Structure 1
């Protein structure tokens, strides 16, 4: 029954989870960037280390998107090398409760409640028998973390226990949020920087729409997290439509690379221009994707895809669940069932699904948090 399912301990969900890759809060952004480029995870955990290992705690997480948005500040575009020497702590959002430590004995129901209160990641100790005394203190006691996706995936394996709500439509369940982050496709992509930062915290995305609110595509933190940090230059200089083409699978069109370079030079952002030029010369783009025909279709298509940045190709090729994807904005309709939307989100490794009408006009968004709220409420009726 659902009651017994929700009483499962989190240790059951942690089986096979890898230990967190961690950095001290005193590390630089450049050090975090290096870890991210060689990691199998989009995020690296940040720890406030103490002489007493019992007091060492994870205080946040960072990803490439944090670095991209940080580099988009004018002063950082002028001198990115100086910006990257700053402590990684400047990237952490000033929002309490995003990362919470819990014990392996914590129940699934308690974990759901923590997520509904705002937690993004639950840090759980990994049970091990032997520790290597030569390792650092936070490595001596390894941790993993659980996400909303982990919990939804676990619930989906027994979704029949939550009948009949699993077959109800999302509009019947009233979980479609009209509060979406949007930008018009002709608008400067830089106008979306704040929305991208917010989407990263809320684990959603920024919808790219036309003047009639037709969904054209999205600027997704998931997509940007698979890109190089020099995408900050494109984000700062291109339109939203051109940014979608720039981050499309296979690399940015050569024509757009030239546009970004020209605009950086025009604005005297020589530091980022040099950083950008070096990145492009090291394989940051593929000339095979620069044809006018492909550029045109990529700009206007619903599909928005990342390109593999140097050092991350092996990750994309070996970890199929997170392969660099040619990803159209994942959509459903108001009459889609809860279980169908869950499956869509899990299949595409996103925490949300856009809701559209038959004419592709944007209705709203459904998130994992919305789904967990419904499951939590249904449990109360069963208890």
Structure 2
């Protein structure tokens, strides 16, 4: 029965999905930033296309044959994806801190240089779910699939071609959506009874707790965790923030950072990991900690980043005085940051949207799946009773279990 379920076509999981919003590979980082701010999506697809040739080809071919081979149309292909975290990490680079406005004019390809191309794969709508799972286990995060019911009329294609837009959604006369690990996990969860008694087994018994994860110390500089954040983004996990005893205090999650704007780069550059957690927590950064960030940027002569933060932060009133004098002394800075100490920051993380999602080694597979789906993340931290980190369970770990079951 399980094998029959996973033999369904991936097109079945695409019903009702909105078409992808996309960005041309010729766009700039600023274009990518604007597109992300205008979109409700976590990330945006990047395409390498010659739309003039694509539209000519599409208009001269019949719609009945438009779905024969996705990968053969090499003149229009999705080459990657961009999210806000990519831009934030890019702005945190040493060479971009002094002049973020100049860095935003770089080509969007600069954001893709460290992203494995295999993270995005084109897939036929007729491919089976088990084939999709195999691709995901090979490293694919997003499967690009044509929406068969959305064949664009020639007149509409011409109209879209004339309108200048950095986010074209039409490629070779078609629209696409993409399938993620979360989509597949939701599908499996909705049919979890088929996989009995697998779902009731503990994650420890199933052997899917991975001891390998990225972490940073609570009092470490957030900037030192940039590579860890980039790695967590690629792995679709998070950066554990631990104390000296290995107790999980919180996390720096790419999923949370993706909901912020580009000014978080300033916070990462100047704050500790603990204060960064307070900065990105639900509700937006507190005004006083934003002022601390601005003061520290000025101390380092990062005026460009400081102006960017003042311009784009809704928590700083436009008529507020300069904080140079107010935060010029280390004592003033420490007192202002005092309320973001370990205990308060930890309690905030345990009650707000940005809290770390945790389970225990004895938690059942289905319970972990529900936790992750409910919080829209691809992982769950595994901790002991004392709060020490055992490891992490990811959607990839879970998909491996279901793949072996059939």
Q: Alignment partner of 1:301: what SS?
A: helix
Deviation at 1:278, TM superposition (A): 1.2
Partner of 1:71: 91
1:150-194 CA distance string (max 9 Å, x none): 000001111111111111100100000000111111110111110
CA distance in 2, matches of 1:75, 1:299: 31
Work out which of the residue numbers 153, 158, 162 in structure 1 matches 2:186: 153
Residue 332 of structure 1: aligned partner: 359
The residue that corresponds to 2:60 in the other structure is: none
Q: 3-state SS of the aligned residue for 1:155?
A: helix
Separation (CA, whole Å) in 2 of partners of 1:52 and 1:235:
43
2:17 paired with 1:4? no
Between the aligned partners of 1:253 and 1:205, the Cα distance in structure 2 is: 23
Secondary structure at 1:65 match in 2: helix
- Aligned pairs, how many? 357
- The TM-score, its normalising length taken from structure 1, stands at 0.89
Give the superposition deviation at 1:277: 1.3
Are the counterparts in 1 of residues 286 and 315 from structure 2 also a CA contact under 8 Å? Answer: no
**Counterpart in 2 of 1:359?**
386
Partner SS for 1:335: coil
Range 263-272 or range 231-240, more displaced: 263-272
Corresponding position: 1:110 with 2:131: yes
CA distance in 1, matches of 2:263, 2:344: 20
What CA distance in whole angstroms lies between the structure 1 residues aligned with 2:278 and 2:5? 44
Distance 1:358 1:184, change over 3 A: same
For 2:207 and 2:346, the matched residues in 1 are separated by: 32
Determine which of 349, 369, 380 is the counterpart of 1:303. Answer: 349
Give me the CA root mean square deviation: 2.1
Asked if the contact 1:302/1:329 (under 8 Å) is kept, the reply is: no
Task: Judge conservation of contact 2:278–2:345 (CA < 8 Å) in 1.
Answer: yes
Is 2:287–2:315's contact at 8 Å kept on the other side of the alignment?
Answer: no
Once residues 89 and 345 of structure 1 are traced to their aligned partners in structure 2, the CA distance between those partners, rounded to angstroms, is 31
Report the secondary structure of 1:61's partner residue. Answer: strand
Question: Please, which runs of 5 or more residues in structure 2 have no aligned partner?
Answer: 55-72, 162-169, 321-334
2:145 aligned residue: 124
Distance change in 2, residues 1:157/1:300 (3 Å) = closer
User: 1:171 is matched with which residue?
Assistant: 204
Task: Work out whether 1:133 is the aligned partner of 2:157.
Answer: yes
- Counterparts of 1:291 and 1:95, CA distance in 2: 41
SS of 1:172's equivalent in the other structure is: helix
How many Å apart are 1:253 and its aligned residue?
2.0
Within the alignment, does 1:251 sit opposite 2:284 as a pair?
yes
Q: 1:349 aligns with which of 366, 376, 388?
A: 376
State the 1:295 CA deviation.
3.9
- Cα distance, 1:302–1:168 mapped onto 2, change above 3 Å: farther
- For normalisation by structure 2, the TM-score amounts to 0.84
Q: Spell out the pairing of 1:77-96 with structure 2 (5 A cutoff).
A: 77-92=97-112, 93-96=114-117
Q: Secondary structure at the match of 2:225?
A: helix
Task: After superposition, give the CA deviation of every residue in 1:331-357 in whole Å (9 maximum; x if it has no partner).
Answer: 000000111100110011000000001
Tell me how far apart the structure 2 counterparts of residues 302 and 250 of structure 1 sit (CA, whole Å): 11
Deviation at 1:302, TM superposition (A): 6.0
Tell me the distance in 1 between the aligned counterparts of 2:173 and 2:294: 46
Q: 1:97 aligns with which of 118, 126, 135?
A: 118
Secondary structure, in 3 states, of the residue corresponding to 2:206?
coil
- In the other structure, the counterpart of 2:67 is none
